[in-house]
Amino acid sequence: MIKWFIRHQFREMFRSTVWQKNLILNIILGFFLLLIILEVLIGGIVLADKFQEIFPDEDPVKKFNGFLLYYFTFDLVMRYFMQKVPIMSVQPYLHLPVKRSSLINYVLSKSLLSFFNFLPLIFVIPMAFFQFTEFYSTSVVWIWIISVFLIALTNNFLIVYLKKQLVANPKVVGIFGLVLAFLVLFDYLNLISFSAFSTLIFGELLNYPLLIFVPAFLLIFVYSLNYFFLKSHLYPDEIKIRKDKKVDSISNIKYLKTLGKTGTLVSLELKLWWRHKRTRTIIYMLPLFLLYGFFFYPQEIYSDGFGFLIFIGVFISGGLMLNYTNYAFSYESNYFDAILANNINIKEYLRIKLKIAIIISTFCFIVTIPYVFFGLKILIINFAAWLYCIGCLSFVLLYTATYNKKRMDLAKGAAFNYQGIGASNWLAMLPAFLLPIFIYLPFGLTGIPYTGILLVGLTGLVGLLFQKSLLNLIVKQFFKRKYLMAEGFRER
């Protein structure tokens, strides 16, 4: 049965027009992936050989074990944004004498081929044989390596389970994300120590090899969670009913109904974002935009200047807004003809998009006001960046969005997915991040940085004062480009 599943999957892949169109791109990406694996392998061998020299006063076993828990935490985050969930069209098999358990086990086993599962082995194996064999027997070292690999597989199935829960019960993912975020925060504040806990856990696996049954049990447990979840949701009608209920609940927001056509258009935008995987993935990436400052504000090398802080401020206040306005029409490519054919006031339609963009940016700014803890300068820069985003960047991005005429598949995730993205989308990044820095730079170089920051904020205020004229300009551009956009969106 597995043989037939694999054969059908290969036929489905090779017969796909998308795979044929992207054949050259896939070959290039495969080449770079092999190059990255080779570089990581060489780096792992060099690191293992020089590890004792890098940390001369440390026990190499304890020091390396202290890093592993940090790695697996980072691995979870990277898997969430980059690892694809294994999928398979089960409908053709449901009426055949095929066991559901065979379907589920095959779907789950596909995730075992993920690059992330084997990445830790590239540097764990060299480290084990360069450093660990001096203190432990070869058999004990191999058991330790297998234990690390089992934990990597546990991460794999845990992410698969969490991504499946995004459809059925997003609260589970939210609670897990909050717990993980608080643990990282507590470690940053030295309330707990990941390093000490990691050293203890992986050190005990070396001292007591029979503890390998603990990661093995965790792997079986997480695999079972996936198995029984998929078994109870195997029939797509069950998931579709739940999706419809959630989408309908958005359209039943009473406040939106009081706004007339404006409320209807806002409701449609919300349903579009929540219904589709690509847009929903961007929503779940919101904490990454909001917490971006924590990576840089605590470090003096970044907080002493102004230019890089402007970049961070624009990213925090305008990152999510950029994703919305830059692809405002591409997101609607599946039914763009219907928008043109129906009696829709285009000016009101574009005004709603600008309002939503401003609301998104304002929300991000308000939530990140506590960054003032790192200094009043941070708040001033973020405030100026917010004004720039809502008064200048929002209009520029919506204008440049009319030049994108590539159809976008919203059923696919957003991470490392460049389908539907054109050159205009990349060029739109220039005013987003470079223009405010160029405005500030002459004043920063002449020793009056706050004047430059003030001018960045004034640029946004001027845009808000002339918003009617800017909106009319976008409306004229939309009418000029609408048929070219519609023609491009029809191509598959």
Question: Using one digit for the tens of pLDDT, what is the confidence trace for 34-60?
Answer: 887 787 788 778 877 777 777 777 788
- Phi/psi-derived region of residue 447, left when phi > 0, alpha when psi is between -120 and 50, beta in every other case: left
pLDDT average, residue stretch 384-391: 89
Q: For residue 142, what are the contacts with CB-CB under 8 A and spacing of at least 6?
A: none
pLDDT at position 154: 93
pLDDT at residue 239, rounded to an integer: 42
pTM exceeds 0.85: no
Residues 6+ away with beta carbon under 8 Å from 100: 231, 234
Range with lowest mean pLDDT among 22-31, 203-212, 421-430: 421-430
Per-residue pLDDT band at 416 (split at 50, 70, 90): very low
Q: Would you state the pLDDT for residue 271?
A: 75
Q: What is the pLDDT of residue 218?
A: 93
Amino acid 149: pLDDT: 92
- Which residue has better confidence, 77 or 260? 77
pLDDT at 82: 73
Query: Is 244 or 277 the better-scoring residue by pLDDT?
Result: 277
- 102 falls in which pLDDT band (50, 70, 90)? confident
pLDDT of residue 412: 58
Q: Which residue has the higher pLDDT, 8 or 145?
A: 145
pLDDT at 263 exceeding the cut of 60: yes
> Does pLDDT of 340 surpass 90?
no
Which residue do the tokens 């120590």 mark? 193
The pLDDT of residue 166 is 67
Contact 81, 123 (CB under 8 A): no
% residues pLDDT > 90 (the chain): 6
| Least confident window among 184-198, 307-321, 412-426, 477-491 | 412-426
Q: What is the pLDDT of residue 243?
A: 46
Read off the pLDDT of each residue in 65-86 and give the average, rounded to a whole number.
Answer: 81
User: What pLDDT does residue 241 have?
Assistant: 43
Give pLDDT, residue 242. 47
Tell me the per-residue pLDDT of 140-187, one tens digit each, with 9 for 90 and over.
Answer: 889 999 999 999 999 999 888 887 776 666 667 667 777 877 777 777
Cβ neighbours of residue 417 closer than 8 Å, sequence gap 6 or more: 278
Q: What confidence category does residue 129 fall into, taking pLDDT thresholds of 50, 70 and 90?
A: confident
| CB-based contact 103:436 (threshold 8 Å) | no
Single-letter amino acid code for the residue at 191: L
The residues spanned by each domain of the chain are 2-234, 276-490
Whole-number pLDDT of residue 46: 81
**Residue range 187-211: mean pLDDT, rounded:** 84
pLDDT of residue 238: 46
CA distance 323 to 364: 13
CB crowding 366-394: b at 16 or more within 10 Å, else e: eebeebeebeebbbbbbbbbbbbbbbbbb
More confident residue, 264 or 365: 365
pLDDT digits (tens, 9 = 90+) for 206-240: 888 898 999 999 999 999 988 888 887 765 544 44
Q: What is the pLDDT of residue 7?
A: 78
Lowest average pLDDT, out of 174-183, 197-206, 261-270, 325-334, goes to: 261-270
- Mean pLDDT, rounded, of the chain: 78
Q: CB of 354 within 8 A of CB of 394?
A: yes
pLDDT digits (tens, 9 = 90+) for 433-466: 788 888 888 888 888 888 888 998 898 898 888 8
